[in-house]
Structure 1
């Protein structure tokens, strides 16, 4: 190789390095958000991100993202947890993906999708602000920490009559079953992914969980799949109390839909759930998906979650949680909810408690 050729190659390498440095210097930064410059550039080139979400309480988040990134078209598609799961799987398996991000409060369904290979890895620079229990495999990210409470009708149920613990609710159902018959609303554990998650988690945490669920079943409760009809029925007075209701949703509802709604955080323990988000494996706009995911975890995004009456998971952005919280970890333990034998055993017991004598006994 001649000296001239070597000189030209060296100049070429220097030039390439200079161009890369120049490009990095010109790449847009996002103040207050740690997304890499390259991902920000890529997101702007893609110009679009589609998010599947299982709740309507996302307005301030969407507004904030659109304001910060006006050149990126954000499409939020509201879909219940189980249909969300089916759509992500069908889109990926068919090679015709639509969703870039899946974001849901059905933690077990999200973990199942991640475990089955429907998510992609992203080592988010914002994840360091989350507690260890909220991040799994650099794929699933819990972006909220929301207590599960009892909601009630303040107009029809005196404050002193509201059960303030799971033990107190069990005692009330046993002591005066006639008063509570048909007056409790709850998620249907057979049809609602969230409902089964709560039932399964209660049985792990609370020694008398089955006694409580037996008493709830005997009270002829109103069973629902989405949360809105639960709170609507309590607001209307059809039911007095909603069992295992997300506090964020109850608070949002009380402020905008039904001022008669109150809620109590159970004093013996309360579940705490995280809304889990992940980037789908075949996301059509992966850089924009990273940008949106980082936004959810950023300080601004977390403040926007608080505006939506969702509880931020980053420390220092909300009041200290009350004692007794039992966070549901984002991780493989939730896969037990998909053990068909265990699931059927739990649901068979629930059906028998409700008086369905056609169910075979469980050994």
Structure 2
């Protein structure tokens, strides 16, 4: 896996005051459901049944075909319902004949395992696959007849990286963070080197109190390997942190345990659950983009080869890439990368990360397969450093 990277050292955090756990629990209990990102963003304005002038003249035929499919859509993904909520809401506004969208929340690897298993039996109900596990996506996509060919008209309005790989599109560009419990730190970490300095100064305090993603899973391997590829010198810091760390297989679990104080901090944690927790926690939970390298993952979306609702799936791809859709993506707590989407309260953007750490400190992960030998060497080295 090759990663592009050079260096800039700008702080990527806003320090907030610590808060009592009682206040946090009260705040969380009082929160209504709403969308991700705290639900503060104003609801998007959607033009029903209309599309941009740069779309093909016969785009109405695709819409008619979608109407004939019955208004349903099935998605296999590793994306939380909180992130999906404003996207589904606005897609249904755009096309009112869409009445039912089913999206489960699977593990990163399970998205593809389940699809392949069902394809083998000839009964594969999924229309779309969505995941930000690059290694799993790349291994799935290298197999024949696993994706439907589609070229979205929105690609002409987006940067080149919007198509992560043939027929895999970036629904969002999601950074990974260092997340921490503010009541357990005298100073906020700003990066992996900074975290290493803090924990090595008092290893007894932080023994077993740091969490990282399990690198035996697709997502954990992707983000951890990408960081070390982009910053080879980081192994010096990791050798100080990992003996104090415990692996987890879910960012959502890590976020909850950091809030409760079971962990003081975690690194390479997805913003998808971290952003909403930061905004709801009353200051007890905070996050930073590592100033010594922030890994950014394209959350890939692609159409299955025999999608039961293929026309509807194409409409959905075009919508999530459009300005309207990217505003909904940002409202849901994922990071929009479309220039016209502005950072506002309750919405998050890729530009927000660039402003925090600088473009040169961002590690974008290409959708390429890492060899089994390289995977084993990395996992053995990483797991060999973990605290027992």
TM-score category (smaller protein): 0.7 to 0.9
Larger Rg: 1
Which residue pairs with 1:287 in the alignment? 311
Match of 2:298 among 274, 278, 298: 274
Q: Which runs of 4+ in 1 moved over 3 A?
A: 31-35, 256-259
Match of 1:121 among 141, 149, 153: 149
Q: Which runs of 5+ in 1 are unaligned?
A: 1-27, 357-363
Number of aligned residue pairs: 321
Match of 1:197 among 222, 244, 248: 222
1:103 aligns with 2:130: yes
Q: TM-score, normalised by structure 1?
A: 0.82
Contact 1:81 1:193 (8 Å CA) reproduced:
yes
Which residue pairs with 1:135 in the alignment? 163
Alignment of 1:199-348 (within 5 A): 199-219=224-244, 221-256=245-280, 259-319=283-343, 320=351, 321-322=354-355, 323=358, 324-331=360-367, 334-336=368-370, 339-348=371-380
Contact 2:295 2:365 (8 Å CA) reproduced:
no
Q: TM-score, normalised by structure 2?
A: 0.77
* Cα gap change, 1:329 to 1:266, in 2 (>3 Å): closer
* Cα gap change, 1:289 to 1:327, in 2 (>3 Å): farther
* Cα gap change, 1:258 to 1:194, in 2 (>3 Å): farther
Q: Secondary structure at the match of 2:76?
A: strand
**Structure possessing the higher relative contact order (Cα contacts under 8 Å, 6 or more residues apart):** 2
CA root-mean-square deviation: 2.1
Q: Which runs of 5+ in 2 are unaligned?
A: 1-47, 344-350
Q: Which deviates more, 164-173 or 341-350?
A: 164-173
Q: Secondary structure at the match of 1:96?
A: coil
